[in-house]
Structure 1
Amino acid sequence: MMYDFTLFKKHDDDADIDCPFKLGRIAQKKKAIERFFEKVEGASWDEGCITISKQKLSSFFAESLQGITHSLKEIFTKCLNIKFILLVGGYSESKILQKHVIDKFGDKCKVLCPIRPQEAILRGAVEFGRKPHLVASRKSAFTYGVRVSRRFDKSKHKAEKKKINKDGEWCRDIFMKLVESGEDVGWDETRTFSLYPTQADTKMMNYNFYCTKKGNPKYVDEEGIEKIGCFCLHSPNTKRGLNRELKLNIKFGFTEMTAEGVDLDSDQTSSVELDFMRN
């Protein structure tokens, strides 16, 4: 039945789906099969087939079409120079989807669908592996961040997050965002951030990295946040105390990103590779 539905979604017409013999036998133990459809709108029984009307079939796609429309409208509000919409994947074979996208956005750009749209995804993955530079940017599926501490502010921070050392009061476990979910990230792009120690005489700084589907998390121990890596950085020269600067360079590659820390006073470095194309 699912296979039949896959075939019929390619057409904008009534659909006749064969009822499996075993399903028919089970149904007939309760009552005649046609009676199951007496009060069902848009579906009927016709000599071994379940007939679904064109209007009913279209209603199955209403929620997804609404979501697609909303997403595309958001993209167009960013004033990008979009000339084409390319429909790929099994769903794109649906005439209902194709007609909907053309009706909604055909006046803004051309809507294209390959002959074998599912194969287009596989080909795209292969081409990306061979020639990653052809992909100018990607959408980050997650929000990525690093755990840091900041000067404690009782008006902003949770009381239980306060820690005290000889250099003052600090708020621990703050999620410092490196890239946000849905943000465009350029291939081979590098982003640089500045970090500082929270203790003047510390000679070892530990940095943990996290990811989440949330857009703006505040602390790394919130629900739905996962630790994905860490590194330790030596900082042997403590003369400048809290003013010592660490440069954190985040470089985005093929399916990963590299986090590299550089202690500017000693030129000590440390790095870790993090999964960027997570499932």
Structure 2
Amino acid sequence: MLKLEVVEGSNFIPFTFLQEINKETCLRSSNGSLIPALNIFTFALEFFKTHALQELSDLSGTRMLNEDIRWVITVPAIWRAQAKQFMRQAAYKAGIASEDCPTQLLIALEPEAASVCCRKLRMHQMVPDPRSSPLPLMVPRRATSQPKNLDHALPDIKEDPNTKASESVSLSGFPQTKESDLTKGTRYMVVDCGGGTVDITVHEIQDNRGRLRELYKATGGPYGSVGVDIEFENLLCGIFGTDFIQHFQQKRPAGWDDLMIAFESRKRSACPDKPNSLNVSLPFSFIDLYKKSKGGQVESAVRKYGDPNIRWSSQGMLRLAPEAMRRLFLPTLNRIKQTIGDIMNNPDARGLSYLFLVGGFAESRILQSEIRKEFGHIVRVIIPQGVSLAILEGAVLFGWDPSVVNIRRSRLTYGIGVLNRFDPTKHPEEKKLSKNGVDWCTDVFECFVKINQEVSLGDTVLRSYTPARPGQRSTIINIFCSERPDVRFVTDDGVRRCGTLCLDLTDSQYQPMPNRREIQTRMFFGDTEIKVTALDVATGKFVRAGIDFLSK
């Protein structure tokens, strides 16, 4: 069994782990062995690839090959570039696509995939709001037609008059006819609540083809359902002592897994409208180890804790009243609501009509109730049936048409460090460098794109670079990033080196010329990943180029 523990870190959670991951990152297993994180992700993706190919082969009656598939891997939108590149490298090692055929693999952002799926919703595919009159979701027994309520969840969607109701796009199948026309200008928010993170994006329908424009950069954080698990663990530490809980986790890892699985079941079934207490079964190994370690009974520890909403039952259950369960959700819920509210107050995200709630954590009735209660008077809250599958089905649609989101917002400010002529009116004296009688300013930040700046698919940042000496076989340029839009120098607070632009200059056909060699690079920031191409101006040939976000 593996523990997600970074060797050089502490107090680790998966979100921060993937934000700072690199090629050398290792995980420590429960037996103390160090295993490269890249290998772990590779094994998992390889298993999924093999299973998917086998299932497709069985269903189609013919052997499906890896080359027959366009693969789509979904990641949180708030992941940084190195985490996305890490997933791509793990996929390559697992045999999903390759560096020679990178377009066979698409990295899709989870809230974008959900957005693509949700904009096609019909009323019968929504979770009804218990505060309103119920929707006719069931088909009458004798009826052979479609469910009654086939109206689009978005009233701005117009049906093609040549499309039959039975041919309409639905969440359960593939589109067989012309895509429905969407009215330009509809704005909505997608809140993707998963196990580890919450991702929030804001989109506007840009044209009648349904193209989407991102209005505000992807936002969120580690506010997923694991936060509820952490609060439950803190509760157990308060009742039985932190030292015992840690001892139990180390000595009885299987028992700890059983305990958390039991809590997961109760967490999913918790409902704000039901007064019944929820029973969490404590495994025998927990009760037995507590008795041996503490010399007392579990029941006594619960009674001593003194919370009337938490009791012990004679059947060996920890009984949590609805108020006790709600307290476990509260810190996570508050962070989610605060983040949503902050985005709604941003001028770029004004005029929203809908809020789509998706992801595995969105199955929680408590979360659904809190979001509707907090924001239902501002926007219409829409929750799809099978809410946890919205990202999966949207990813399939994204794989058919990756250009569906054609305007995004940059998550960070990106640029490089350059030398500029020294200007005493705007450059500090400590940055001054004199060379061959000319004064230069060092560490000047040359911006490629600013945080929250709109970037369209196909938009390029064009720069030209010249090797420092003839015959140079490669050029490496450091790339810096920041969460600030007003960066002046690469040494400013909050600026860090995030990657390197690598240009391979080993073209054997290149002959030295009187003029210095010029390499023209084009960088693309409008896709889900940052990409680069390079051209040797002298030869007219493309130069092998790439951006490495994983090397230290």
| TM norm structure 2 | 0.40
* DSSP-derived class of the 2:305 partner: coil
Shift of 1:181: 5.2
Q: 8 Å contact 2:359–2:387 — kept in the other structure? A: yes
Which structure has greater helix proportion? 2
Change (3 A) 1:119 1:231: same
Q: 8 Å contact 1:210–1:229 — kept in the other structure? A: yes
> Which one-letter code corresponds to 2:414 in the other structure?
Y
Equivalent-residue separation in structure 2 for 1:272 and 1:36 (angstroms):
63
Q: Does 1:258 align with 2:531?
A: yes
Q: 1:109 aligns with which of 379, 382, 387?
A: 379
* DSSP-derived class of the 1:26 partner: helix
1:95-134 mapped onto 2 (5 Å cutoff): 95-134=365-404
Equivalent-residue separation in structure 1 for 2:267 and 2:433 (angstroms):
59
Structure 1 partner of 2:12: none
Shift of 1:100: 1.4
Q: 1:17 aligns with which of 280, 286, 297?
A: 280
Shift of 1:50: 0.9
* DSSP-derived class of the 2:530 partner: strand
Deviates more, 1:138-147 or 1:260-269: 260-269
Q: Does 1:219 align with 2:473?
A: no
Change (3 A) 1:213 1:63: farther
- Aligned-residue CA RMSD (Å): 4.2
Shift of 1:251: 2.0
Structure 1 partner of 2:263: 5
Q: Does 1:210 align with 2:479?
A: yes
Equivalent-residue separation in structure 2 for 1:157 and 1:246 (angstroms):
31
- Identity rate, percent: 25
Q: 8 Å contact 1:246–1:261 — kept in the other structure? A: yes
Shift of 1:110: 1.9
Q: How many residues align?
A: 267
Shift of 1:17: 0.7
Equivalent-residue separation in structure 2 for 1:258 and 1:8 (angstroms):
45
Equivalent-residue separation in structure 2 for 1:57 and 1:258 (angstroms):
46
Q: Does 1:229 align with 2:229?
A: no
Q: 2:337 aligns with which of 45, 49, 69?
A: 69
Change (3 A) 1:132 1:237: farther
> Which one-letter code corresponds to 2:297 in the other structure?
A
Structure 2 partner of 1:50: 318
Shift of 1:70: 2.6
* DSSP-derived class of the 1:145 partner: strand
Change (3 A) 1:193 1:254: closer
Equivalent-residue separation in structure 2 for 1:192 and 1:50 (angstroms):
59
Shift of 1:92: 0.9
Shift of 1:22: 0.4
1:163-174 mapped onto 2 (5 Å cutoff): 163-166=433-436, 168-174=438-444
> Which one-letter code corresponds to 1:28 in the other structure?
K
> Which one-letter code corresponds to 1:7 in the other structure?
S
Deviates more, 1:266-275 or 1:170-179: 266-275
Equivalent-residue separation in structure 2 for 1:63 and 1:136 (angstroms):
36
Shift of 1:24: 1.0
Q: 1:36 aligns with which of 284, 296, 301?
A: 301
* DSSP-derived class of the 1:192 partner: strand
* DSSP-derived class of the 1:225 partner: strand
Structure 2 partner of 1:242: none
Deviates more, 1:257-266 or 1:27-36: 257-266
Shift of 1:54: 1.8
Q: 8 Å contact 1:9–1:93 — kept in the other structure? A: no
Q: 8 Å contact 2:410–2:525 — kept in the other structure? A: no
Equivalent-residue separation in structure 2 for 1:167 and 1:267 (angstroms):
36
Q: 8 Å contact 2:531–2:546 — kept in the other structure? A: yes
> Which one-letter code corresponds to 2:339 in the other structure?
S
Shift of 1:184: 5.2
Change (3 A) 1:33 1:219: same
Q: 8 Å contact 1:195–1:246 — kept in the other structure? A: yes
Shift of 1:232: 7.2
Equivalent-residue separation in structure 2 for 1:35 and 1:176 (angstroms):
65
Shift of 1:49: 0.8
Change (3 A) 1:101 1:182: farther
Deviates more, 1:170-179 or 1:267-276: 267-276
Q: 8 Å contact 1:150–1:171 — kept in the other structure? A: yes
Change (3 A) 1:212 1:158: farther
User: Which ranges of structure 2 fall in alignment gaps of 5 or more residues?
Assistant: 1-258
Q: 8 Å contact 2:533–2:543 — kept in the other structure? A: yes
Which structure has greater strand proportion? 1
Q: 1:27 aligns with which of 287, 290, 295?
A: 290
Shift of 1:148: 2.2
> Which one-letter code corresponds to 1:35 in the other structure?
S
1:183-198 mapped onto 2 (5 Å cutoff): 185-186=455-456, 188-192=457-461
Equivalent-residue separation in structure 2 for 1:56 and 1:94 (angstroms):
16
Structure 1 partner of 2:328: 60
Equivalent-residue separation in structure 1 for 2:287 and 2:409 (angstroms):
47
Structure 2 partner of 1:82: 352
